[in-house]
Every structure is written in C-alpha cells, then in structure tokens.
Amino acid sequence: MVSWPRSARLYAPAYAPTPQRTAVRRCPVPATAKTMFWLTMAGLILVTAYSVTIGSDGWLWFTWVVLGLMTIGTLAARRT
C-alpha cells in the first residue's frame, strides 16, 4: 500500500461548515401547482382505468399529455 505524504492529502477546510453554507435553498411550490400535480396524477389513473375497461381513446391520452406538459411547465416556471 502506498503511503501518501501529508501535503498530498485532500485539502480539508479550516472552518467547520455551518448550516447556512451547506443548506440548499429551495423555492417553495405554491399550493395551486401542487393541486395541479395531484389532479394530473388522478387524471392519469382515470384515463388508464377508462382505457382498460372501455377501450383506448386517443383524445383522452392527448388531453392528459397536454395537462401533464402544463403541469411540468408550471412547476418549472416556479423554480426559476
């Protein structure tokens, strides 16, 4: 096993990290975006159940995809 000299070891900071330095700032998601997300997931479940029981309908899936894209756009716009 190779023994590295002390000067070659990884640099350790001289200060102890504080919660302010290590914490990641998170942008709060508004309640409307959360509601839209859960409605989109409920829509996915309903469209899937409808497709399994009655048969697939292209317009249902198209509508769900548009709703999903709108939800992603809402969440992404809020994070910037």
pTM: 0.57
Q: Where are the domains of the chain?
A: 31-80
Burial of 68 (0-12, 13-18, 19+ CB in 10 A): middle
- Tokens 């249902």, residue located: 60
d(C-alpha 69, C-alpha 18), whole Å = 39
HSE-CB for 73 with a 13 A CA cutoff: 6
pLDDT score of 64: 87
pLDDT tens digits, 2-56 = 555 555 445 555 555 555 555 556 667 778 888 888 988 998 898 889 889 988 8
